[in-house]
């Protein structure tokens, strides 16, 4: 066994690092570094640069216009992006609906949608959760009734991330209320301009407008916008959940966050000495360091297995649980490190274009991010759901 990257992989890392140094606009990386929310245009500018480089769809095969990277290269790319404060690519198009269209979509759907995703023409959002269907996703109630060449869709979706910018929605709907609950679900692609769609912001406890509710009121969707067969929607949804989840630990982000905590705690003074020398604080940093080391090797084990042809299944759940816990702990340490400076809250600066003096700007996001990071153990299948998945699929309980 060895844990070192090959010379080719190291050269690839250097190439990614060079590209990021040259191509990532400094105003965007500065917004990410300070924890300010990105505007739609910030996302688009960066994703257009990636698109031009051919690196936007890092998980796509070459045949569809992706770079054809393996799991190791994707891991390196993600790590370097996080270290350079590059924005995370909005995943709903390239990483979520695209693999479903490639796997289950018709040739026409592939030819129409995939190039538009690759060129950032469409901004996709996800219509999965509903007020009554969170962890129990298959309990969804949004109803689609066939009417000639169309479905008439009625219902409500929620937690739709960045839906306020999206022009396309992929949506799980119930087409057969009499079938067993997973069997009556279909997967629809819906144009957000269609009459009857209302998007309402949900403001989260950090003051951010990141997620939305979407109301569908007699929305008319052409049958040709269904992916796969009627009643096959759950298969598509499950495929999405197992597809390429080696990045789920958020290792690059955790590494960056730990570097930040250490540098912060080396600068901030406590009784005339760096905070990092306060034993109780240092002990927590050391524990986070250990957890990160373990998580990194576990992540590499899963990546190596994926590279060698395995399918990361339930192991992703382990990565998700431990990765989210670690990132939450690091956001806690960042907030604590700042002491009283963590109290002032400047929403105009964090979520808009408001200005702030340089010193305050450095610490402005810490507490808001701490609250924002609570989502990590809730979304994508709450950590308790992940544990139940492990109990069932790995331990056979």
Please report, as ranges, the residues that interact with other proteins according to CB under 8 A. 1-6, 9, 72, 262, 282-283, 285-287, 289-291, 293-298, 300-301, 303-305, 308, 318, 321-322, 384, 387-388, 390-391, 394-397
Minimum CB separation of residue 217 from other proteins in Å reads 38
Tokens of 215: 């109301």
φ and ψ of 41, to 5 deg: -70, -35
Closest CB to other proteins among 63 and 397?
A: 397
* Conformation bin of residue 105: beta by default, left when phi > 0, alpha when psi is -120 to 50: beta
Query: Is 130 designated active site?
Result: no
Q: Strand pairing of 143-147 and 150-157?
A: antiparallel
Q: Residue 341 CB, nearest distance to other proteins (Å)?
A: 24
Nearer to other proteins, 194 or 383 (CB): 383
Radius of gyration of the CA atoms of the chain, in A: 22
* Closest CB 196 distance from other proteins, rounded Å: 40
CB of 31 to other proteins, least distance (A): 28
Instruction: Report the residue number, 167 or 393, with the smaller CB distance to other proteins.
Output: 393
- The dihedral of CA 318, 324, 330, 336: what is its sign? negative
The least distance separating other proteins from the CB of residue 282, rounded to whole angstroms, comes to 6
Among candidate residues 80, 130, 244, 291, the one labeled active-site is 244
Q: How far is CA 130 from CA 31, 133, 143, 321, 369, in A?
A: 32, 5, 12, 23, 25
- What is the C-alpha to C-alpha distance for residues 81 and 98, in angstroms, rounded to an integer? 21
**Choice between 236 and 285, CB closer to other proteins:** 285
| Nearer Cβ to other proteins (197/318) | 318
d(CA 379, CA 211): 12
Provide the annotated active-site residues.
244
């Amino acid at each position: 066994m060895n844990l070192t990257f090959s010379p080719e992989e190291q050269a690839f890392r250097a190439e990614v690092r060079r590209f990021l140094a040259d191509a990532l606009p400094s105003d965007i990386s500065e917004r990410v570094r300070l924890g300010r929310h990105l505007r739609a245009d910030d996302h688009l500018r960066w994703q257009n640069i990636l698109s031009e480089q051919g690196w936007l769809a890092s998980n796509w095969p070459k045949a569809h216009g992706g770079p054809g990277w393996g799991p190791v290269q994707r891991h390196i790319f993600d790590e370097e992006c996080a270290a350079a404060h590059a924005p995370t690519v909005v995943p709903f198009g390239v990483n979520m609906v695209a693999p479903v269209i490639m796997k289950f979509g018709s040739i026409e759907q592939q030819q129409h949608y995939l190039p538009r995703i690759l060129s950032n023409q469409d901004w996709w959002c996800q219509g999965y959760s509903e007020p009554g269907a969170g962890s129990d996703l298959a309990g969804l109630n949004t109803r689609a009734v066939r009417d000639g060449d169309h479905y008439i869709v009625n219902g409500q979706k929620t937690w739709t991330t960045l839906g306020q910018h999206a022009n396309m929605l992929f949506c799980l709907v119930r087409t057969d209320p009499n079938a067993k609950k997973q069997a009556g679900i279909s997967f629809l692609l819906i144009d957000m301009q269609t009459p009857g769609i209302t998007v309402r912001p949900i403001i989260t406890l950090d003051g951010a407008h990141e997620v939305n509710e979407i109301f569908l009121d007699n929305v008319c969707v052409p049958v040709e916008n269904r992916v796969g067969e009627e009643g096959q929607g759950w298969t598509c949804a499950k495929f999405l959940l197992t597809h390429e989840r080696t990045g789920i630990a958020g290792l690059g982000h955790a590494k960056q966050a730990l570097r930040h905590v250490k540098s912060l705690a080396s600068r901030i003074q406590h009784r005339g000495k760096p905070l990092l020398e306060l034993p109780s604080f240092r002990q927590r940093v050391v524990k986070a360091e250990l957890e990160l080391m373990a998580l990194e090797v576990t992540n590499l084990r899963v990546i190596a297995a994926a590279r060698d042809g395995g399918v990361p299944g339930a192991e992703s759940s382990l990565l998700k649980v431990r990765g989210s816990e670690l990132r939450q702990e690091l956001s806690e340490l960042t907030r604590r490190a700042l002491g009283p400076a963590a109290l002032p809250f400047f929403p105009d600066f964090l979520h808009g274009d408001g200005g702030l003096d340089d010193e305050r700007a450095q610490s402005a996001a810490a507490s808001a991010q701490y609250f924002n990071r609570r989502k990590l153990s809730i979304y994508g299948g709450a950590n308790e759901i992940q544990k139940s998945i492990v109990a069932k699929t790995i331990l056979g309980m």
